Structure 1
Amino acid sequence: MRSLSLQRKLRSLFIVSASGVAVYGAVSFYKNDKIFYKNVVMPLVHLFDPESAHRLGIVVSKYRLIPKSRYIDPESLRVTVFGKQFKNPIGIAAGFDKHAEAVLGLSDLGFGFVEVGSVTPEPQPGNDRPRVFRLPEDHAVVNRYGFNSEGHDKVLERLSSVRRRQDCDAVIGVNLGKNKNSADPVNDYVMGVKKLGVVCDYLVINISSPNTPGLRSMQDKSVLRNLLKAVVDARNGLPDGCKPPLLVKLAPDLSYEELQDITQVVTEKQTRVDGLIISNTTVERPLSLLNNSSKSEAGGLSGKPLKNASTKMIGDVYRLTRGEIPIIGVGGVFTGGDAYEKIKAGASVVQIYTSLVYEGPPVVTKIKQELSQLLAKDGYNSISEAVGRSAQ
């Protein structure tokens, strides 16, 4: 009888405890509690292999399963860049929502802008698996996806649907790539401009991914000039009201001399672009990397190890262009301080990706809160007042 009573007590204790844990988890999930996500949700997500976890993130965002952020962006975070008004300067970088499936869900998380892609004209599978690797000790990721894409037509269909809705106030960018075996790479980008320019707020010419053979050679001065002349002409030929700003995404592994050549081309009249994204992933492997199992994998390295290099490059380009071409800063942004460093170096807005992998959705609000506090501490009333302050 005493044993039966003990069993009932233990059962009741288990039910009460389990219920308490479930309620705590549900409330923490609903509130986007950053500690709960960092210590509970993300470790569970990381039980999946990296690409499966990535796919899970897309599905969750696609079906808007994560509660909408309740954080109200302060006026100080509003910024106008290349004629577009951003509710805040924190965006999700290309590479996460490759096929434009999750724009609405990502907007719910509080991103000021969402960049989809890279998108290629024809569907292609990308490189063989495995092609994504975590370096948790370094808060970094190596990927060699290789422009896996569902193609222009599918992305056009999805973005057209988003544009018909009234519940997405994020700026939408489309990152364009070329097909792996394309016989005419320049035409791949021209086709992207013509087809997707009518459904986005800006277009990105991605010639800096390390995972498509020969792509980075398009950053060469003469090749770049030919490419930009073609895409600028294509953009200018779009209907009035549908001429999105054109940006170029650069690699962090360029020499200063190469940067000088590139900035010369992008500021020339016939090849002038409206913005630059600095930077893509790096093929370098810093000696400071702690992870030994994945750092030797081929592909582009992103995350904290890229932070200082990308910030320095932002400052270099800001000075080379005399601040005349807006910059989107990306690479190793985990905190408001990281974002602020890039803004003061010359970035008008910034993007994240790897920090989302390790800290989950609450990182978006965390960065915005910290950034607004840093602006106020330094006496700035807006993002634009801080742009380039450390590069002068």
Structure 2
Amino acid sequence: MMFPLLRPALFSIEAERAHGLTIAMLEAWGRAGTPLAAGPGDSRLRINVAGVAFANPIGLAAGVDKDGRAIDGFFGLGLGAVEIGTLTPLPQAGNPRPRLFRLQGDRAVINRMGFNNGGLEAALPRAAAAKRRGVLGINVGANKDATDRIADYRDGVEKAAQIADYVTINISSPNTPGLRDLQHGAALTELLAAADEARRMPIQRPPLFLKVAPDLEPSAIDEIARAAIDHHIDGLIVSNTTISRPGLTSAHAAEAGGLSGAPLAVLARQRLVDFRKATGTALPLISVGGIGSAEEAYARIRAGASLVQLYTALVYEGPGLPRRIARGLSRLLKQDGYDHVADAVGAG
């Protein structure tokens, strides 16, 4: 309730610095042992995806808490899942600042962070020590200057799989030159085979998700769907930020980088539908991009998403958003006669 009063002060601070302060506050809040909401949760929202039980289908997208510093704090917002990363084998500074821009009139963000993170070895102990009041995903990528990017993914998957409830391969960021080339052809096949082999190393084999870009041609969608099924990928996260600029009006609209937030919603919805058609029911889909309300989350679920993830909407709507979406989802499911959220997946 206080966020609308605090938002002008936060927005007066440079975007990346404000983001860092937010992570620090949530880290301290989580460390203090702040409890989640009382009660067992809403049984209508529970869902099992790829063998993992989620208390609700609302998750935090990768990129918000790259280094896993505020895992417990984010779970305290009522999220069913928190995905940290993208983590690379070696620490890297990312691209020069400024590299994060608010587009307030468009309720959007452009970023060109460039996989800035402290590396796997620094983040994984934090992930292992977290209280895990929900599902923890770890998103892995390759270092910008890696001579063998597939080896970086193999290393990341093998290490993350020993801790995570699921592991995501991120080959769809637009901010690492050449990374999206791994979404096609022999490179995609080789990557998925290596990642599948790597996640089999620990005793427990967590699900492996693949995060794709929204800026794909129809032929690429079919190719990715076939390769994901052939190489035992357990789910697709659709989608990352876009390099398109659909009807923006804000001052920073021309900045280079990936666009997220409300303007991405139409494209993200369409890509969800495209991948639902390409995969049928063979793979669960996780929808990301422009989700800022229970109505939009419900529309994605009815379009075929088993789970949804939030990112930019948290900037504009505040920390109460996950619980508002959860309450609204439950109301919409009840209104349409669904006892469980899984019953609504693909119903539209």
The TM-score by the shorter chain falls in which range? over 0.9
Rounded to whole Å, the distance in 1 between the matches of 2:324 and 2:159 is 36
Provide the secondary structure at the position in 2 that maps to 1:367: helix
Rounded to whole Å, the distance in 2 between the matches of 1:183 and 1:235 is 22
Which residue in the other structure is 2:182 paired with?
Answer: 218
Provide the secondary structure at the position in 2 that maps to 1:198: coil
The amino acid across from 1:265 in the alignment is A
Which residue in the other structure is 2:248 paired with?
Answer: 289
Shift of residue 239 of structure 1? 2.8
Asked which structure has the greater CA Rg, the reply is: 1
Deviations 1:220-248 (A, max 9, x none): 12210010011111112x2322x111110
Q: What aligned pairs does 1:244-323 form with structure 2 within 5 A after superposition?
A: 244-268=206-230, 271-286=231-246, 288-291=247-250, 293-323=251-281
The amino acid across from 1:240 in the alignment is I
Which residue in the other structure is 1:386 paired with?
Answer: 344
Q: What aligned pairs does 1:14-163 form with structure 2 within 5 A after superposition?
A: 33=1, 36-37=2-3, 39-64=4-29, 68-70=35-37, 73-162=41-130
Deviations 1:130-160 (A, max 9, x none): 0000011111000000000100100111112
Provide the secondary structure at the position in 2 that maps to 1:248: strand
Higher helix share: 1
Q: What aligned pairs does 1:1-12 form with structure 2 within 5 A after superposition?
A: none
Shift of residue 47 of structure 1? 1.2
The amino acid across from 1:285 in the alignment is R
**Retained in 1: the 8 A contact 2:72–2:133?**
no
Shift of residue 341 of structure 1? 1.0
Shift of residue 183 of structure 1? 0.1
Would you say 1:172 and 2:136 are equivalent positions?
A: yes
Which residue in the other structure is 1:184 paired with?
Answer: 148
Deviations 1:23-44 (A, max 9, x none): xxxxxxxxxx2xx31x201222
Identity %: 43
The amino acid across from 1:339 in the alignment is A
**Retained in 1: the 8 A contact 2:158–2:202?**
no
**Retained in 2: the 8 A contact 1:68–1:109?**
no
Rounded to whole Å, the distance in 2 between the matches of 1:216 and 1:142 is 18
Provide the secondary structure at the position in 2 that maps to 1:385: helix
The amino acid across from 2:314 in the alignment is L
**Retained in 2: the 8 A contact 1:71–1:365?**
no
Under a length normalisation based on structure 1, what TM-score does the superposition of the two structures give?
A: 0.86
Rounded to whole Å, the distance in 1 between the matches of 2:28 and 2:92 is 25
Rounded to whole Å, the distance in 1 between the matches of 2:12 and 2:68 is 26
Which residue in the other structure is 1:373 paired with?
Answer: 331
The root-mean-square deviation of aligned C-alpha atoms, in Å, is: 1.3
Which residue in the other structure is 1:8 paired with?
Answer: none
The amino acid across from 1:349 in the alignment is L
Deviations 1:342-390 (A, max 9, x none): 1111110100011111111011111111111111111111110010112
Rounded to whole Å, the distance in 2 between the matches of 1:128 and 1:96 is 18
- Of residues 272, 294, 302, the one that matches 1:336 is 294
The amino acid across from 1:127 in the alignment is N
Shift of residue 70 of structure 1? 2.9
Rounded to whole Å, the distance in 2 between the matches of 1:363 and 1:298 is 28
Change (3 A) 1:192 1:171: same
Shift of residue 49 of structure 1? 0.7
**Retained in 2: the 8 A contact 1:329–1:351?**
yes
Would you say 1:240 and 2:198 are equivalent positions?
A: no
Which residue in the other structure is 2:283 paired with?
Answer: 325
Deviations 1:53-81 (A, max 9, x none): 10011001111179655375311111110
Rounded to whole Å, the distance in 2 between the matches of 1:229 and 1:74 is 38
Rounded to whole Å, the distance in 1 between the matches of 2:311 and 2:6 is 17
Rounded to whole Å, the distance in 2 between the matches of 1:139 and 1:366 is 18
The size of the alignment, in residue pairs, is 345
Which residue in the other structure is 1:193 paired with?
Answer: 157
Rounded to whole Å, the distance in 2 between the matches of 1:69 and 1:266 is 36
Deviations 1:89-131 (A, max 9, x none): 1111000100010000001111100000000000000000000
Gaps of 5+ in 1: 1-32
Which residue in the other structure is 1:20 paired with?
Answer: none
The amino acid across from 2:249 in the alignment is L
